[in-house]
Amino acid sequence: MEVKKRIAELIEALRKHNYLYYNEDAPTISDFEFDMLMKELQELEEKFPEFADENSPSKRVGGEITKKFETIEHKYPMLSLSNSYNRTELTEFDERVQKLLGKAVDYTCELKYDGVAIGISYKNGKIERALTRGDGSKGDDITTNVKTIRSIPLVLNGNYPDEFEIRGEIFYPLSVFKKLNEARLESGEAALANPRNAASGTLKMQDSAVVAERKLDCYLYYVLGENLPYKGHLENVQESLKWGFKAPTVQKNLIRKCKNIDQIFEFIDYWEVHRHELDFEIDGIVIKVNDYDAQEELGFTAKSPRWAIAYKYQTEQAETRLNEISYQVGRTGAITPVANLEPVLLAGTTVKRASLHNADQIEKLDIREGDLVQVEKGGEIIPKVVGVNLAERPADSTPTIYRTTCPECETELVRIEGEAQHYCPNVWACPPQIKARMAHFISRKAMDIDGLGEETIEQLFDAGLVKNVSDLYRLKKDELLLLDRMAEKSVTNLLEGLEKSKQVPFQRLLFGIGIRYVGETVAKKLAKHFKNIEAIMQATFEELIAVDEIGDKIAESIILFFEEERNLKLIEELKESGLKMEMEEMEDTSISNVLEGKTFVVSGVFTLFSRDELKKAIEDNGGKNVGSISSKTNYLIAGDKMGPAKKEKAEKLGVQIISEEEFIKMTKA
């Protein structure tokens, strides 16, 4: 009973600290202290699964795989709002509402979040289901992924209704989105276009552990149900804060009650100026009739409620002169055209450069040097050119001819079929590619080498001391001391940092060597699956794509990387320098080997195990988990609500279907 009590204490403490951190932005303990509490809870739940809670904070890390998202009917239709771009239409909306109701009403004004709409139902204080908008009448069940978002409570506090739904918007904080794009560029992937599309794509990922790593956030702003505490929209939203939700607050002016159209315009004007101070994107203001009875009386059109309207801000743009188009070379050789602009103020910052994306975009917009161009700033790392003022084009203007050679090494550029970007194929001799790969190798998420930064890499390369990352481990103190700004202490720190990096785990080295499309998460999955570099080097295409989240493109890239002799030589040199080329030996937690040689697919909802517990039990007894059914699968462990397609495929392939009770008998054989 002491264990059960301690688990309950830890769950309560972690929920409280999670709420303070993500919803109130007022943490009372350090990240380290939070992590230690979480670690203790995870260890206790693992040792005593009978006391584990399905809505424990430990479930936030994800891990469940959803192959197909079930489509479910909304209890309350999830309609879109009518949009307006001018104030006359808002005045007409107010007049129409007053005429239909025969009286003046209070309105609630709130931000129009530019994210992904979500409806989350709760029953007896616990999260039950989360649905996307879909077509308004039906949406996709993405509950598993939504549970990983830390600002969404799994269990409620206070005096909440027994059953209700709360709606809101899931989004990428701009600071998180920027870091995500920087990481993608580091791993040779294209930057994501904007936070909204990225959030939408993330929520449809099959692996909830990846969703958890993406650090999505959510504001919940509309409560529906039969037994709500108040008859007004604003009052219920503010009450939901007490239940544990991250909802817009009156105190922060994220939501406000307005008694007339002038107060509505004041709220619109305030956020038109201050919206760029937010760490998320909004594209307007939503105005709703506050009283529920009045909402019911006004009703709906076929597409939208009559009691609400959205006022959308014009996308902020600035017009300025494009002085020159230059070209940047990335770590993977990708060429990015950049517009060098006359400095212009946009969204609170001075913009001097903007992305032109690729040759197709330049041709599509007919962008030329000397043009007056429209520049837009969203969630991108740098702004983008979205249009040209053709009326102001100089008479002597000539069309842009995209570069055919690398701006750094003059190698002929290539364009891979199906890709928008051009590439410099001179991987081994193009200076910016070499330096960028080394900068990636020493970066914090890779080898994290103290005493080494991008400027030092530049200096070492220019001095002819390093031509690839393996040369770093052959640096000598006396040759480093001859360089500018390299005193005794800085040289000592650099060499000690290199020595210390030899203890960096294998999965980070694998990320650091810079295989295209192998980002941090993919590197972890590869390292965990194959255990060492030799196994990855020898893996076939079929073996690679059998790993969770490894698709055709990643598998092909890995094979191509290890077909190159110079890459093999690089790996050998790093190995000789003493870097870790295999996963650390883990303590053997096997219970038995009775399932050795057997492969299992787990599908559905279970009563005796969670899915994670069931998968662990398979591995603890020598078996192997696989994500999908094939002719090589031995057993399908079927729970409630298992998809009919999976059952049909198992039957077609002759895969034995067993229950969790039958599985337990197998482990005791």
pLDDT in tens, 449-476: 988 888 899 999 999 999 999 999 999 9
CB atoms within 10 A of CB 322: 22
**Tokens standing for residue 29:** 């303990």
Looking at the fold, whether 302 and 363 belong to one and the same domain comes out as no
Residues spanned by the domain of 106? 71-312
Q: Residue range 377-398: average pLDDT?
A: 81
**Local structure of 295: helix, strand or coil:** helix
For residue range 44-88, list pLDDT tens digits in order. Answer: 887 888 887 777 777 666 556 566 788 899 998 888 888 888 899
**Tens-place pLDDT, residues 522-531:** 888 899 889 9
Q: How many residues does the chain have?
A: 669
Q: What is the pLDDT of residue 313?
A: 86
Q: Count of CB atoms within 10 A of residue 57's CB? A: 24
Model pLDDT for residues 398-443, shown as the tens digit of each residue: 999 999 999 999 999 999 877 888 999 998 999 999 999 999 999 9
State which amino acid sits at residue 59.
K
- Among 610, 668, 618, 666, smallest CA distance to 639 is for 610
Task: Kindly tell me if the per-residue pLDDT of 589 is higher than 50.
Answer: no
Output the pLDDT for position 295: 92
My answer on whether 391 and 409 are in the same domain is yes
Does residue 118 sit in the same domain as residue 209?
A: yes
Q: Which two tokens stand for residue 5?
A: 């009590």
Q: Is residue 32 part of a domain?
A: yes
Task: Report CA-CA distances (Å) from 250 to 7, 106, 166, 236, 464.
Answer: 36, 15, 18, 12, 61
- What is the pLDDT, as a whole number, of residue 1? 63
Q: Which of 32-36, 202-206, 600-604 has the lowest mean pLDDT?
A: 32-36
Q: Evaluate whether residue 66 is within a structural domain.
A: no
**pTM for the whole structure:** 0.57
Integer Cα distance of 359 and 334 in angstroms: 12
Least confident of 185-199, 216-230, 489-503: 185-199
Domain tally, the chain: 6
Range from 285-294, 364-373, 446-455, 562-571 carrying the lowest mean pLDDT? 446-455
Examine the domain organization and report whether 265 and 131 are in the same domain: yes
Write the DSSP string, 566-599. HHHHHHHHHHHTT---BPPPPP------TTTT-E
Phi-psi region at 549: left, alpha or beta (left = phi > 0; alpha = psi -120 to 50): left
Least confidently predicted of 40-54, 251-265, 418-432, 504-518? 40-54
Return the structure tokens found at 626: 């696989």
Q: Which amino acid is at 215?
A: K
Average pLDDT over all residues of the chain: 87
Catalytic residue among 16, 39, 103, 112: 112
Q: Does the residue 594 lie in any domain?
A: no
Domain membership of residue 637 (yes or no) is yes
Q: How far apart are CA 343 and CA 318, in angstroms?
A: 10
Q: Are 516 and 527 in contact (CB under 8 A)?
A: no
Residues 155 and 286 in one domain: yes
Nearest residue to 519 via CA among 496, 491, 550: 550
Residues 187, 107: one domain? yes
CB neighbours of 113 closer than 8 A, spacing ≥ 6? 168, 169, 171, 219, 280, 281, 282
Angle between helices 611-620 and 660-667 (to 10 degrees): 20
- Residue 7 belongs to domain with CATH number: 1.10.287.610
CATH code assigned at 631? 3.40.50.10190
Question: Are 139 and 157 spatial neighbours (Cβ–Cβ below 8 Å)?
Answer: no
Q: Is the pLDDT of residue 611 over 90?
A: no
User: Look-up: residue for tokens 């990335």?
Assistant: 330
Q: Is residue 254 part of a domain?
A: yes
Token couple for 334: 């990708």
Residue 392 sits in the same domain as residue 294 = no
User: Per the domain annotation, does 586 fall within a domain?
Assistant: no
Same domain, 215 and 114: yes
Q: Do residues 245 and 140 both lie within one domain?
A: yes
Q: Are 171 and 243 found together in one domain? A: yes
Rounded to an integer, what distance in angstroms lies between the CA atom of residue 230 and that of residue 236?
Answer: 6
| Residue 112 appears among annotated catalytic residues | yes
143/141 Cα distance (integer angstroms): 6
Q: How many CA atoms lie within 13 A of 116 on its CB side?
A: 26
Please identify, among 387, 415, 443, the residue that sits at the C-terminal boundary of a domain.
415
Among 15, 37, 61, the domain-final residue is 61
C-alpha radius of gyration, the chain, whole number: 28
Are 188 and 246 found together in one domain?
yes
What whole-number distance in Å separates Cα of residue 42 and Cα of residue 49?
Answer: 10
Q: What CATH number is given to the structural domain containing 552?
A: 1.10.150.20
The verdict on 149 and 210 lying in the same domain is: yes
At 595, phi and psi to the nearest 5? -105, 10
**Three-state DSSP class for 127?**
strand
Place of tokens 């970066």: 443
> Which tokens in the block code for residue 528?
């965990």
Which comes out higher in pLDDT, residue 664 or 326? 326
Find the mean pLDDT for residues 581-610. Answer: 75
By percentage, how much of the chain surpasses pLDDT 70?
93
- DSSP-assigned states of every residue in 71-102: EEE-SS--PPPPEESSHHHHHHHHHHHHHHHT
Q: Is 622 or 170 the better-scoring residue by pLDDT?
A: 170
Contact 244, 153 (CB under 8 A): yes
Q: Is residue 293 part of a domain?
A: yes
Name the domain boundary from 246, 277, 312.
312
User: The tokens 């298992």 sit on which residue?
Assistant: 642
* pLDDT bucket at 505, cuts 50 / 70 / 90: very high
Tokens found for residue 636? 């399908």
Residue with tokens 């040779």, as numbered in its chain: 188
| Cβ atoms 619, 611 nearer than 8 A | no
Q: What is the pLDDT of residues 99-134, one digit of tens each?
A: 999 999 999 999 999 899 999 999 999 999 999 998
Whether 337 is in a domain gets the answer yes
Cβ pair 422, 429 in contact under 8 A: no
635-638 and 599-603 beta bridge pairing: parallel
Q: Within 13 Å and on the Cβ side, how many CA atoms surround 156?
A: 25
Burial 531-567 (b: 16+ CB within 10 A, else e): bebeebbebeeeebebbbbbeeebbebbeebbeeeeb
pLDDT given at position 32: 67
